[in-house]
Structure 1
Amino acid sequence: MQLNKIRGHQTDQLFKAILELETIEECYEFFDDLCTISEMQSLSQRLDVAQMLNMKKTYDTIQNDTGASTATISRVRRCVDYGSGGYNKILSRLYPINDEEN
């Protein structure tokens, strides 16, 4: 959706750095330095919302379980349905069993 707006040297460097992370602990260390707690919570929440949307959960259930606002849920829904495919690609890799059930 917004790929052309974020493409560039700095973003390439960030993504290359992320690809170099080898363990969950390295991810925690890197993202602790890189992001605020609020930013990490927002990113984590969005991925959780995307997973729940793929599981066909209702907005009410998602809001109650994640604490996400309806605006956040709607934005994630748009990305899941009409975005670049990133959420779906990652979720199918993280949860291949869920992918087969849908």
Structure 2
Amino acid sequence: MKIGKKEKSGQLYKAILQLRDEEECYEFFQDLCTVAELRSMEQRFEVASLLDDGMIYNDILERTGASSATISRVNR
């Protein structure tokens, strides 16, 4: 499911694009997300990187601890 373009979601993405460096980005997401949400996004990003590298689901599952459902969702 894709998020439709809405004014509010557009503002979020524009705000992200305004971040200048890693520290500012870190602070932004610390303010915006819970620790669990950040860990989930970090895990999904790692899954996406490993999929992009051609790694298979079982190896990604072992390496990241992500569920097969998460890996499949990221793969879509």
Q: TM-score, normalized by length of structure 2?
A: 0.90
Per-residue CA shift, 1:13-39, capped at 9, x if unaligned?
111110110010001100000001111
**Alignment identity in percent?**
51
Q: Which has the higher contact order (CA 8 A, sep 6+)?
A: 1
RMSD over aligned CA atoms reads 1.2
Partner-residue secondary structure (3-state), 1:30: helix
Give the unaligned 5+ runs of structure 1.
79-102
Whether 2:38 is the aligned partner of 1:76: answer: no
Bigger fraction of residues in helix:
1
Deviant stretches of 4+, over 4 Å: none
Residues 1-102 of structure 1 aligned to structure 2 (within 5 Å):
2-4=2-4, 7-78=5-76
Give the unaligned 5+ runs of structure 2.
none
